[in-house]
Amino acid sequence: MTRSTPEWTRPQQTGAEQTMLRAAGVTMQFGGLRALNDVSFGLAEGEIIGLIGPNGAGKTTLFNCLTGLYAPTSGAVSLRGKALPQDPARVTEHGVARTFQNIRLFPSMTAQENVLVGRHVRMRQSPLSSLLHGPGFRRSEAEAAERTEALLSFVGLTRFADELARNLPYGDQRRLEIARALATDPSVLLLDEPTAGMNAQETEATRQLIFAIRQLGISVVVIEHDTKFIFTLCDRVLVLVQGEVLVEGSPDEVRGDPRVVEAYLGAPPEEVEAQLHRGEHQ
């Protein structure tokens, strides 16, 4: 199988397709502002969902509710049918990892160390073994170092392993955040604007990287303003407007939906159409 082609098909499943992550009627109220209103969706196993919508639509707030950073005013979030705790560290342990719209790396640590931090979520050592640097501890440290090296290679950052995160080019910092998220062994990965600030080449590399992540069996939700990127990456697209899911469907359905054309950007139809097809003929 060739690596990371859009034609990649999901492995045959025996029963009904399993829902990994589910939001049911999620509402988030900040004082007088309702940032999310009754948002529901399910992320199937092996699926890539795109989340688009104007600035302030509630996209990041939805990620914050899905990862336990915010406790929704009402509604529920579950993984494989089990309610997720409202505690980001424990949500990560359950297998939901994320990256942030504003990169949150440890700037004075190396790329390798940043990934190791993610890995520590999965390292289970008794305090005594850690203290004594016993065989279990050494084995676990060796395993973490190996995984870190493999992950840096997977995202194409081997050459920056010993470089401080703050010295990495912007696009590579975004990739490093993805590597750190992957180090937690997620079954679901949430990416908040992974191509912001990237040039066309870096954006394409990120698209291919996300396909490769899906091939690892990880389901993905991606927030992006770049609609060409979303429409050529995702199986399904959700359009969030003023905290509500306005339209949901395949990229073709969403692109052709008059409600999206009318309401999504609030711009004249020709302009919206141009934006939705932006760059397609490059």
Ligand X SMILES: Nc1ncnc2c1ncn2[C@@H]1O[C@H](COP(=O)(O)OP(=O)(O)OP(=O)(O)O)[C@@H](O)[C@H]1O
Q: Using CB under 6 A, list all residues that contact ligand X.
A: 30, 33, 35, 53, 55-61, 101
Residue 246 CB, shortest distance to ligand X, in Å, is: 13
DSSP alpha helices (H): ranges in 46-194? 59-66, 88-94, 111-119, 127-132, 135-154, 170-182
Task: Give the distance, in angstroms, between the CA of residue 79 and the centroid of all CA atoms in the same chain.
Answer: 15
Site for Mg ion in 65-124 (CB under 5 A): 101
Residue 51 has φ and ψ, to the nearest 5°, of -120, 110
Among 41, 48, 60, 239, contact with Mg ion (rule: CB under 5 A): 60
Nearer Cβ to Mg ion, position 129 or 242? 242
Residue 191 CB, shortest distance to ligand X, in Å, is: 13
Residue 247 CB, shortest distance to ligand X, in Å, is: 15
Torsion of CA 114, 217, 211, 226, to 10 degrees: -70
- Report CA torsion sign: 264, 266, 269, 272: negative
Nearer Cβ to ligand X, position 46 or 58? 58
Q: Taking CB under 5 A as the rule, does residue 203 contact Mg ion?
A: no
Q: Indicate the helix (H) or strand (E) that contains 247.
A: strand 244-249
Task: Give the distance, in angstroms, between the CA of residue 270 and the centroid of all CA atoms in the same chain.
Answer: 31
* From the list Mg ion, ligand X, none, partner contacted by residue 260 (C-beta under 5 to 8 A by kind): none
The amino acid that residue 276 corresponds to is L
* From the list Mg ion, ligand X, none, partner contacted by residue 35 (C-beta under 5 to 8 A by kind): ligand X
Nearer Cβ to Mg ion, position 45 or 193? 193
Do 169 and 76 touch, CB atoms closer than 8 A? no
- Residue 36's CB: how many other CB atoms inside 10 A? 29
* From the list Mg ion, ligand X, none, partner contacted by residue 55 (C-beta under 5 to 8 A by kind): ligand X
SS3 state of residue 162 = coil
* From the list Mg ion, ligand X, none, partner contacted by residue 56 (C-beta under 5 to 8 A by kind): ligand X
Residue 25 has φ and ψ, to the nearest 5°, of 60, 40
Nearer Cβ to ligand X, position 45 or 226? 226
Residue 126 CB, shortest distance to Mg ion, in Å, is: 40
* From the list ligand X, Mg ion, none, partner contacted by residue 110 (C-beta under 5 to 8 A by kind): none
Which of left, alpha, beta for 174 (phi over 0: left; psi -120 to 50: alpha)? alpha
**Residues in binding contact with Mg ion, number by CB under 5 A:** 3
Residue 242 CB, shortest distance to ligand X, in Å, is: 9
Residue 98 CB, shortest distance to ligand X, in Å, is: 13
Closest by Cα among 220, 158, 169, 208 to 21: 220
Nearer Cβ to Mg ion, position 52 or 213? 52
* Stretch touching Mg ion by CB under 5 A, among 60-68, 86-94, 150-158, 261-269: 60-68
Nearer Cβ to ligand X, position 57 or 213? 57
Nearer Cβ to ligand X, position 61 or 173? 61
